[in-house]
Structure 1
Amino acid sequence: MRRRGIWATCLIIGSGLWLGGCSRSGADGTEALPVVTSAPTTAERGAQPRIVILGDSLTAGFGLTREASYPALLQKKLDAAGLAYQVVNAGISGDTSAGGLERLDWSLEGDVRIVVVALGANDGLRGLPLAQLESNLQAIIERAQARGAKVILAGLKAPPEAGPDYGARFEAVYRKLAQKFRIPLIPSLLEGVAGKPELNQTDGIHPNERGAALVADNVWKALEPIARQAAAGTAQSGS
């Protein structure tokens, strides 16, 4: 139980440090715009449709520079592929699925075409009821789809301390929702990264720069075809 508490603290402690572009007001009290991870020019990027990545500290890039976070790396992949999208890092450290649902409406402001839902790590760390996790994720998916956005669900794993039964049922929530809504599922956001000291920071939880690059690769496998499909649909409707 003590180690589990350490895990929870590691993911939650970043909440006051960097909100990955999801803080609604700046240091001077003015309204802050969502952080765009990379931009050719402000005008060009502002006119592009958005891809919102809704997550926690894993998405926010806890312990990393903004440029090293996996949403920023996805922006670079999109740019290199000639796919004109603005990636919005909607990661808030310590957030749960309930927190993501609560801030969903303002996270989806603007012309949002794709939403990557990467929430639930803190639900698992806190041992929150799985029915609550499923309900929150389902509501997020439904509301994003109601806005016309395509949704990609990122699967996660509960910490070993949660026990094998909880862990198996936790992972099953993501598979169930992906099947129910017929949306792409990233089997594990941290595939190839979790449990490898050389790919994580000293807390053993949050990816370092090398780990974040692998996380970006995991997401890219699901994101690229959806981004191309959405871009092609936009081009056809405009022709």
Structure 2
Amino acid sequence: MLKKLSLFLVILLTVTLSQKVLAHNTILLLGDSLSASYGMEEKQGWVYLLNQQLESEKATYRIKNASISGETTEGGLSRIDAILEQNKVDILLIELGGNDGLRGFPPKLIKNNLLQIISKAKAKNVQVLLSKVKIPPNYGPRYNQMFEQVFVDVAKQTDVTLLEFFIEKVATDPSMMQADGIHPNSKAQPILADEMKSMLDANI
């Protein structure tokens, strides 16, 4: 009887440890076309490439991609409740604002939307990471400065981690960009995956 009980406890302990090893944090990525494999197959995009690397390394986190091409902060705000309700989310990574800026939306509106998204996530005890976003300089120095300051102010006001703009290293290299000059091409995606991995590893 004691031998059977001991064997049962060993098996139970093994299963429990295995579950702990397999468990990982889910990062929910709320982004736009920069994270939605715009202009290429999904398997060419940086999110897919990074998840493949994380899987092979048995890393402690995986990314669930909820990015949509053309998404704005208002669109993200309209979706966040359902996303948090329907998914296991440990960390929310927000990569939104680019389309707002390209359309010349008021910085105050962008800020308010981001604040609400973060507030909803924090109410669910979800850690939040906010990515900086930059837009082309042709919108004028005043608007660009106000736009970029939004992300700094939101991060400070909500006490969340602010990540650097993850495409910045490739954005000024025409060979890494699609014809529109806004979206990185497939050649740039492994670089973006490495860039994002470095930032995530340092902040989670």
TM-score bracket, normalised by the shorter chain, equals 0.7 to 0.9
- Output the amino acid matched with 1:120: G
Alpha-carbon distance in structure 2 between the residues aligned to 1:129 and 1:225: 32
Residue number in structure 2 paired with 1:152: 129
Residue number in structure 1 paired with 2:164: 187
Cα distance, 1:214 vs structure 2:
2.3
Cα distance, 1:71 vs structure 2:
1.4
Cα distance, 1:157 vs structure 2:
0.8
Q: Does the 8 A contact of 1:50 with 1:110 survive in 2?
A: no
Correspondence 1:71 to 2:47: yes
1:4-62 per-residue CA deviation (whole Å, 9 max, x = no partner) reads xxxxxxxxxxxxxxxxxxxxxxxxxxxxxxxxxxxxxxxxxx97542111011111110
Cα distance, 1:166 vs structure 2:
0.6
Residue number in structure 1 paired with 2:183: 206
* The structure with more radius of gyration: 2
After the TM superposition, list the runs of 4 or more consecutive aligned residues in structure 1 that deviate by more than 4 angstroms. 46-49
TM-score under structure 2 length normalisation: 0.82
1:147-182 per-residue CA deviation (whole Å, 9 max, x = no partner) reads 111111111112212100110111111111122222
Correspondence 1:88 to 2:64: yes
Flag the 1:187–1:47 CA change in 2: closer, same or farther, 3 A: closer
Which stretch has the larger CA shift, 56-65 or 116-125? 56-65
Cα distance, 1:119 vs structure 2:
0.2
- Output the amino acid matched with 1:143: K
Q: Does the 8 A contact of 2:44 with 2:189 survive in 1?
A: yes
Task: State the superposition RMSD in angstroms.
Answer: 1.9
Residue number in structure 1 paired with 2:96: 119
- Output the amino acid matched with 2:149: A
Correspondence 1:167 to 2:144: yes
Q: Select the structure that is richer in helix.
A: 2
Correspondence 1:55 to 2:31: yes
Alpha-carbon distance in structure 2 between the residues aligned to 1:188 and 1:168: 15
Residue number in structure 2 paired with 1:231: none
Alpha-carbon distance in structure 2 between the residues aligned to 1:147 and 1:171: 27
Cα distance, 1:213 vs structure 2:
2.1
Alpha-carbon distance in structure 2 between the residues aligned to 1:220 and 1:79: 13
Secondary structure in 2 matching 1:224: helix
Which stretch has the larger CA shift, 67-76 or 156-165? 67-76
Residue number in structure 2 paired with 1:97: 73
- Output the amino acid matched with 1:220: K
Cα distance, 1:191 vs structure 2:
1.3
Q: Does the 8 A contact of 2:24 with 2:59 survive in 1?
A: no
Q: Does the 8 A contact of 1:156 with 1:190 survive in 2?
A: no
Q: Give the number of equivalent residue pairs.
A: 182
1:122-156 per-residue CA deviation (whole Å, 9 max, x = no partner) reads 00100000000000011111111211111111111
- Output the amino acid matched with 1:106: A
Cα distance, 1:209 vs structure 2:
1.8
Q: Which consecutive unaligned segments of at least 5 residues does structure 2 have?
A: 1-21
TM-score under structure 1 length normalisation: 0.70
